[in-house]
Structure 1
């Protein structure tokens, strides 16, 4: 079938979603975990989840799996109206890519029939359902598509300034973009944040949206120098009350509780959610983190019960999502804390040997393997070498700072600079002036 005809279809395949911009494995995990939770889906949200998952499977090279998910999307909305324009467009593309020319032409014609039966407000405008699915897909796909998501919601807002969905989507876009711009260690006044102003407007229009409460709570927490803890907790508790079955809400609230060092509260929330989503790798990872931090709070990192629970959930989580390297590295360190040095070494070795290890994952490997050498095996020289290797990968993740800080700590205790760390820092600054 002619690709020119396919390019006229408004769907995931024509929205310029580039596979190199996204973590396809993580996107798939998030969608599958959301779908696994038994809860009510409003409107066409479940159909859209299957559409999005189908496109991710295509990007992974599994068009047969993509087709299965599109068929599930079709089942969610069997009527031929504007709500299936994206689904049918995706179906036309997948069938064409699989060589099913007749089916591709059939779905292309179905889209054209719908467009004739339900014309858009103008030739240059998308149907509301299509504009909505496109904007939310851009917001979900990658940080590199946040700006386009914002522009899409803003374009819709200019036509319908008081629309609940457009205001919420625009607020979420600003929240994500502001998070990228501000970074982890910077602060802006809560009252001056454009994201906060828009989130408050969205909340007035959609007071029952739990995620708006979560985002306002996080903004209050991150953007205020003297944090009003009471206000933050109010936002978080309200969100949890509104959406106790929403995996994203639960994870956000629990992570906030963890940062506030209320590990038992976080565990209570997470373990309750685990009953509804027992196969969520993200839940297991977060539960493991809380057991770990609870042990540290007790000044007893080798507490056998808590360490055992931490390892149990890390093992379960990594078995569910082996593509996420970080928990597997953490698991190796926890084995070492159990004095299972050979098992830890084996885990580190097999992880380093993985093909196509991303630079950020490789950097995390060097930092954690360095910690293993330093704190478990007492080999400072080997640890320093790995911290250096981690830094040499550049600022590909926050682990760069972690490696640098560990080298500084070694240097503070070794005035003679046995490992030539000062020379390394100097040469590194010379080669990487931007750093």
Structure 2
């Protein structure tokens, strides 16, 4: 709840958008959940004022959600039912006027869009539902700038490195040429698909715009970090932190920059840093740990920040702390399949390289691969398992587990002929072993 409230307040203060009615309704809900019903009414008044300012020609329809929320809060304040009933009557008369077949509900693209924005803000587990809402709205009005923006943002968050999100983002930029926030998301997507030079043009455009600067700095910093321009990324992040010092996102990005600087120093020292290099590596690790710790304190559900924190503790040899973090993550069982893949993969790496346990590494690589969602991390898990299997067979060409694992690897890669070949070898070896046991005097 504190993280949601922080993100909502940040959006209200720092994101310049024409689509801000829903966020005030969401803040009203947060205030209500905290028992601050009078403050909740203030947020609803803000939403109502925005509707009159930005949607005067649709004010009745656009006010339906806000009126429903007014009725709810008034009821919970223990006021006379007449006050709650007044707002319910407004909803009912508007539904009747707009020929809705329902007494207190309106089915229209604007309502779908409103629901989409709320779901978008309330966690990853709601993203698929949010996407469906924006899709439904766009079916009714494909050229609507607000629907297009919502759909572009949700597809960007859902689809990782998938090129299919390029079109929705390009469309949103076309319909919202002044929206700097959507430009930086488009730039990051272009970078994802190998079009970094074009992406940087959009980043530069967005940085010259004073609109939504705090958000632009966040994502521009992410772009430059991935490009390898770490000093530029850190400069942008530090500027953004002045405005939003408790942002979990910003602290996580800071941690990643320091982690990458540590890797750069180690690589330049051929992985054997000494003297000043060693001191700089240690300083970068301390800074990374500080920012990752801060991020997870602010947002306890920030799984990837926990994974990065565990990797930093591994880096300094604090295996106990790293183990505690992995156990915590494994117990929470994240909703997202890809997040669970990441946990198992990184824990497998920890077991293989820090704990020197091939058995536990294999167990967790297998768990990551058996989550069949296609992803970069699943591919890395397959490759790590393949290397382990080959290492086992290098030590003993008749290693039954090594043969079985290699067969599984080829099956996971879709190479069925190779998989069958290794399964058959494993079966013959197993039969020979059973034979020799059966004839043992």
Q: Deviations over 1:106-145 (max 9, x none)?
A: 43124346678xx65x758879975763454466551343
Q: Partners in 2 of 1:412 and 1:233 — Cα distance?
A: 42
Alignment match of 2:317 (pick from 312, 316, 339)? 339
Alignment match of 1:262 (pick from 205, 229, 232)? 229
When residues 425 and 92 of structure 1 are mapped into structure 2, their CA distance, relative to the original with a 3 A threshold, is farther
Residue 232 of structure 1 and its aligned partner are, at CA, apart by: 2.2
When residues 249 and 65 of structure 1 are mapped into structure 2, their CA distance, relative to the original with a 3 A threshold, is farther
Do the aligned partners of 2:251 and 2:295 also contact (CA within 8 Å) in 1?
yes
Q: Partners in 1 of 2:135 and 2:384 — Cα distance?
A: 39
Supply the RMSD in Å over aligned alpha carbons: 4.3
Q: Deviations over 1:283-342 (max 9, x none)?
A: 111110111112112225871010010000011111111122221232122112112223
- Secondary structure of 1:323's counterpart equals coil
When residues 42 and 324 of structure 1 are mapped into structure 2, their CA distance, relative to the original with a 3 A threshold, is closer
Instruction: Give the 5 Å matches for 1:193-232.
Output: 194-195=167-168, 198-199=171-172, 201-202=174-175, 206-223=176-193, 227=195, 229=197, 231-232=198-199
Q: Deviations over 1:22-66 (max 9, x none)?
A: xxx7xx8466325137836668755421323556x69xxx85559
Do the aligned partners of 1:245 and 1:273 also contact (CA within 8 Å) in 2?
no
Q: Partners in 2 of 1:172 and 1:342 — Cα distance?
A: 43
- Secondary structure of 1:273's counterpart equals helix
Which protein shows a greater Rg? 2
Instruction: Give the 5 Å matches for 1:94-173.
Output: 102=81, 104-112=84-92, 133-134=114-115, 136-137=117-118, 142-156=127-141, 166-167=144-145, 169-170=147-148, 173=151
Residue 382 of structure 1 and its aligned partner are, at CA, apart by: 2.5
Do the aligned partners of 1:384 and 1:419 also contact (CA within 8 Å) in 2?
no
When residues 409 and 240 of structure 1 are mapped into structure 2, their CA distance, relative to the original with a 3 A threshold, is farther
Residue 425 of structure 1 and its aligned partner are, at CA, apart by: 5.6
Alignment match of 2:200 (pick from 217, 223, 233)? 233
Partner of 2:251: 284
Q: Deviations over 1:338-357 (max 9, x none)?
A: 12223323333344344x55
- Secondary structure of 1:242's counterpart equals coil
Q: Partners in 1 of 2:368 and 2:63 — Cα distance?
A: 48
Partner of 1:89: 68
TM-score, length-normalised on structure 1? 0.71
Q: Partners in 1 of 2:73 and 2:327 — Cα distance?
A: 39
Residue 410 of structure 1 and its aligned partner are, at CA, apart by: 1.9
Q: Which has the higher helix share?
A: 2
Alignment match of 1:386 (pick from 361, 364, 368)? 364
- Secondary structure of 1:212's counterpart equals helix
How many residue pairs end up in the alignment?
383
Q: Deviations over 1:45-95 (max 9, x none)?
A: 55421323556x69xxx8555957742422314669635421221344577
Which runs of 5 or more structure 1 residues have no equivalent in the other structure? 1-24
Q: Partners in 2 of 1:364 and 1:353 — Cα distance?
A: 14
Residue 377 of structure 1 and its aligned partner are, at CA, apart by: 2.5
Q: Deviations over 1:140-163 (max 9, x none)?
A: 551343243033145245xxx5xx
Considering Cα pairs closer than 8 Å and 6+ residues apart, tell me whether 1 or 2 has the greater RCO.
1
More displaced, 28-37 or 90-99?
90-99
TM-score, length-normalised on structure 2? 0.70
Partner of 1:253: 220
When residues 66 and 126 of structure 1 are mapped into structure 2, their CA distance, relative to the original with a 3 A threshold, is farther
Partner of 2:240: 273
The reply to whether residue 35 of structure 1 matches residue 9 of structure 2 is: yes
- Secondary structure of 1:420's counterpart equals helix
More displaced, 122-131 or 322-331?
122-131
Do the aligned partners of 1:70 and 1:87 also contact (CA within 8 Å) in 2?
no
